[in-house]
Amino acid sequence: MRTGSSGRRATGLGVAVLAAAAGLAACSSPSGGAGSASSSQAAGGGTYTIWDPYPQYDKSSDWVKLLESCGTQAGVKVERTGYDTSDLTNKALLAAQQGNSPDVLIVDNPVVSTLAEAGVLTTTEENKLDVSSIAPNLLAAGQLGGKTYGVPIGANTLALYYNKEVLKKAGVDAAGIKDWASLTAALEKVKAAGKKGITFSAIGTEEGSFQFLPWFWGSGANLTKLDSPEGVSAVALWADWLKKGYAPNSVINNTQTTSWQEFAGGDYAFAENGTWQLANAKKTGFDYGIIPIPGKDGGTAPAPTGGEFVSIPVQSDTARYATSQKLVSCLTSTGNSLSTTTTLSYIAPTEAVQAKQVEQNPELKVWVEAVKAAKGRTSDNLGTKYPKISEPMWGAVQAALSGSTSAQEAMAAAQTAAANATR
């Protein structure tokens, strides 16, 4: 599919900016400063521009060295700029509107559908990018209308960290936690032993939705029907935990960072958090373990995927695509994937590299399992409808947890709002 016509691009961008502003934030990269990218096309045919959401990596980093190495292999010079995730989305939309897009764009996976709908991105089929070895559930986050708009560079997701000493004192075996009932029973024992149960982020932003989704999807619910009995049961689970003191009231305002800080204090049995906290877990000073988030009736709950896609934006000079394809293929190749995902703290998108990761670090096994069960927030062809569903959903969770309304009433109101917004 060719999406480069100026008419299509201009009409799509207004909607896309609104979608981007809705807070599509994954748990991928820390914020930071960024340089100017105004020289992107002015630099000449021998220079190819790459924009990424990793401003924390400077020229001396392994990441930037990989970008430069891929440029060398493709016979061009790479000019790279790192932006904060939310800033990058808006800059990509503006650049497309001005006909000044970078040659390669690396963006948070929920943003792919926003940019694709706006006509900003080319498809993998168009540029002959091989995605045959990529896990289908990860690839789905970059698909819209049956077409794929990039290659995932890696993924992260959520699981449950636990404090081994707290569980031991409460007489809880983490291996026995297989479903919601066994987890709730464990929390009851922990509280009875004088410790704290579980902490998570239920803040009224996309971060709250991100943390709620494993429970929502793990109930068997679907985002197109927020007020299904399954969806209501997920909100009721969290609300009941707060009511019984198994989770603190602070979760209503917790970000994933503040939730982690509560767990790191040493009094909590469990914390819902992501792959990106592994390094911090080693600094807590206590023994910890990790288990998948359980589904309501057992199994691993589908948690949302974080992570980025490497895409090729639409260019007026289509002759540039051949080299851009070489750059993307290099960045996402099996040979580079192990070092890239290690640098970015991700699980690789292919089984072959996942196996190598676990071989090097057995602690990643639970994360590989979680990623295999995960799904993209914009999957199921939701695309840009997702943020219009997510916002009323996180509002419903907030209302139920605060006690201002029942889980049923909160999700019924959320479903009405989402249905009106996505018509």
**HEC profile for 66-96?**
HHHHHHHHHCCEEEEEECCHHHHHHHHHHHH
Residue 421 pLDDT > 60: yes
**Mean pLDDT across 192-196:** 98
pLDDT in tens, 257-283: 999 999 999 999 999 999 999 999 999
The number of helix segments (H) and strand segments (E) in the chain equals: 17, 11
Predicted confidence band at 161 (pLDDT cuts at 50, 70, 90)? very high
Using alpha carbons, select from 121, 113, 79 the residue that is nearest to residue 96. 121
For residue 18, pLDDT beyond 90: no
Q: What pLDDT is attached to residue 37?
A: 36
Q: Is the dihedral of CA 393, 200, 174, 137 positive or negative?
A: positive
- Quote the pLDDT of residue 85: 84
Distances (CA, A) of 376 to 111, 282, 373: 11, 28, 11
Adjacent-strand bridge partners of 108: 308
pLDDT tier, 181 (very low <50, low <70, confident <90, very high otherwise): very high
**For the chain, which residues make up each domain, given as ranges?**
6-155+306-362, 158-303+383-421
Supply the pLDDT for residue 371.
96
Q: Residues 323-337: what's their mean pLDDT?
A: 96
Is the pLDDT score of 147 beyond 90? yes
Burial 281-300 (b: 16+ CB within 10 A, else e): beebeeebebbbbbbbeeeb
Candidates 3.30.870.10, 3.40.190.10, 3.30.70.20, 3.90.190.20; CATH matching 158-303+383-421 = 3.40.190.10
Would you call 55 exposed, middle or buried from its count of C-beta atoms within 10 A (0-12, 13-18, 19+)?
buried
- Distance in angstroms (rounded) separating the CA atoms of residues 213 and 68: 37
pLDDT at residue 86, rounded to an integer = 77
Spatial distance between the Cα atoms of 201 and 357, rounded to a whole number of angstroms: 28
| Residue 43 scores a pLDDT above 60 | no
Residue 182 clears pLDDT 50, i.e. is over it: yes
For 417, the enclosing helix (H) or strand (E) is helix 407-421
Q: What is the mean pLDDT of residues 330-334?
A: 95
- Structure confidence at residue 20 (pLDDT): 42
* Residue 399: predicted pLDDT: 98
Q: Which tokens in the block code for residue 332?
A: 């996402």
Q: Which residue has the higher pLDDT, 20 or 2?
A: 20
Same fold, 6-155+306-362 and 158-303+383-421: yes
How sure is the predictor about 32, in pLDDT bands with cuts at 50, 70 and 90?
A: very low
> What's the pLDDT score for residue 28?
40
Q: How confident is the model at residue 40 (pLDDT cuts 50, 70, 90)?
A: very low
| Residues 6 or more apart whose Cβ sits within 8 Å of residue 316 | 4, 99
Among 38-47, 350-359, 410-419, which stretch is predicted with the lowest mean pLDDT?
38-47
Q: Quick one: pLDDT band at residue 320, thresholds 50, 70, 90?
A: very high
> Which of the pair, 198 or 20, is modelled with greater confidence?
198
- In the numeric block, the tokens 């807590």 are attached to 284
Q: What is the mean pLDDT of residues 326-331?
A: 97
**398 backbone dihedrals φ, ψ, rounded to 5°:** -60, -45
Average pLDDT estimate for 110-131: 96
**Structure tokens given for 321:** 């695509």
Name the residue with tokens 């706006």: 118
Mean pLDDT of the chain: 90
Percent of the chain at pLDDT > 70 equals 89
**What mean pLDDT is predicted for residues 317-333?**
96
pLDDT band with cut points at 50, 70 and 90 for residue 45: low
**CA–CA gap between residue 346 and residue 157 (Å, rounded):** 9
Question: In this predicted structure, what is the pLDDT of residue 343?
Answer: 87
**From CA 359, how far away is CA 364, in angstroms rounded?**
9
pLDDT band at 3 (very low <50, low <70, confident <90, very high): very low
pLDDT confidence of 10, banded at 50, 70, 90? very low
Residues 6+ apart with CB under 8 A from 267: 166, 195, 196
Cβ neighbour number for residue 182 with a 10 Å cutoff: 15
Query: How confident is the model over 117-127, as a mean pLDDT?
Result: 97
Task: Determine contact, residues 248/262, Cβ cutoff 8 Å.
Answer: yes
Q: In 186-266, which ranges are E strands?
A: 196-199
Tell me what pLDDT residue 27 has: 43
CB 351 within 8 A of CB 135: yes
CATH T-level fold of 6-155+306-362: D-Maltodextrin-Binding Protein; domain 2 (3.40.190)
User: In terms of pLDDT, which residue wins out, 264 or 6?
Assistant: 264
Record the tokens describing residue 11, joined without a space: 């009409």
C-alpha separations of 81 from 23, 36, 87, 102, 344 in Å: 22, 7, 12, 10, 16
Q: Which pair of tokens denotes residue 315?
A: 């260019």
β-bridge pairing 104-108 and 47-52 = parallel
Determine the pLDDT at residue 262: 98
